[in-house]
Structure formats: C-alpha cells, structure tokens
Amino acid sequence: MIEEPGIVVAVDDDGIWVATQRKTTCGSCSAKAVCGQGLLNSLSADKKPHTVKVRSDLQLREGDQVVLAISQQSLVRSAFLVYMLPLFLMFAAALTVDALNASEPWIIFAAGLGFLAGAVCVRLYSNRYLDDAAMQPVVVKAQIALRPALDV
C-alpha cells in the first residue's frame, strides 16, 4: 500500500474530502540548488493542496488528520495503462501504415490517430472503473483533532 497523509477539509453524506500536499524528493537533496529539476520544482505554480474524495464510514470532521492508502498493484496498473497504451497504439498504427508502403505524412498521421485512439481508450477505461472499490483510496489511519468538550 502506498500511503499519503492529508487533512479532512469537507464532509459529505457519502464521504469526505481530503487535502493532500504533493511532495517532491528535491526538498532533501543536497544538489537542488544546481539541479535543473530542483529549479523547475521551485518555479512550479502547483503548490496548492490537491483534494480527493474518499468514501469512509468513520465519523470524521473538518481538521482531522488522516492517512490515505491505495494498493500498489492498482497504481502501477493504472500508470502503465495511462502512459503505455497510447504509445503502443501510436507505434502499432505507424508500423501498420508503414508496412503498406505509405508515404511519410500518412505514417505520421496514422501515428497521431493511434495515439488519440489510445487516449480515448484510457478515458473510456477510467470512466468505466471510476467507482471501482479497488481503485479508490481508503483511510487507514485517522487522528481526530482535539475539540473542547463544552462551549463556554
């Protein structure tokens, strides 16, 4: 399981919204001052927290700290699908048209269509399995925020 800490920012009838902060490995690297990746990360405007909707039976409130987890197998399978399927279909289409002895512009056009077909397949797959329980993060730990017992 891959775990990520977060804070509950909203509670709905069917789940909770958890804000997580994207981390990079550049923060602990000694070469970040001279590294191109460290420079790009420092210039990145994506420093705001990301919110994720999580189904949970726990009685959580805003401000509670939680740890979310997702299975490594589903994460690797999804990443492979998202990155490799469009590339595979792009190369397959280009090689198929090349085997037909077509000119180079047609090969490039077929490669583009293959890539788009792969992207559409990924979109259809993700819409179909969006609510699959195996693909959803789960709350594995919760730390309830301290609240006063009495309002004075």
Six-digit token pair at 107? Answer: 């090969």
Answer yes or no: is pLDDT of 152 > 60: no
77 three-state secondary structure? helix
Least confident of 73-77, 137-141, 144-148: 144-148
Q: What is the per-residue pLDDT for 95?
A: 96
Q: E strands, the chain, where?
A: 2-11, 16-20, 50-54, 65-70, 138-143
pLDDT confidence of residue 43 = 63
Strands (E), 30-137: 50-54, 65-70
pLDDT computed for residue 90 by the predictor: 96
pLDDT at position 53 is 83
72-99 helix and 104-128 helix, angle to the nearest 10 degrees: 150
pTM tops 0.85, yes or no: no
Once rounded to an integer, what is the mean pLDDT over residues 15-35? 71
The top-scoring range by mean pLDDT among 5-9, 114-118, 130-134 is 114-118
Per-residue pLDDT band at 148 (split at 50, 70, 90): low
pLDDT digits (tens, 9 = 90+) for 65-115: 888 888 888 888 888 889 999 999 999 999 999 999 999 999 999 999 999
Q: Which two tokens stand for residue 54?
A: 């999580």
Query: What is the edge-to-edge ordering of all strands in the sheet holding 65-70?
Result: 50-54, 16-20, 2-11, 65-70, 138-143
Two structure tokens written together for 112? 């583009």
The percentage of residues in the chain with a pLDDT greater than 90, rounded to a whole number, is 28
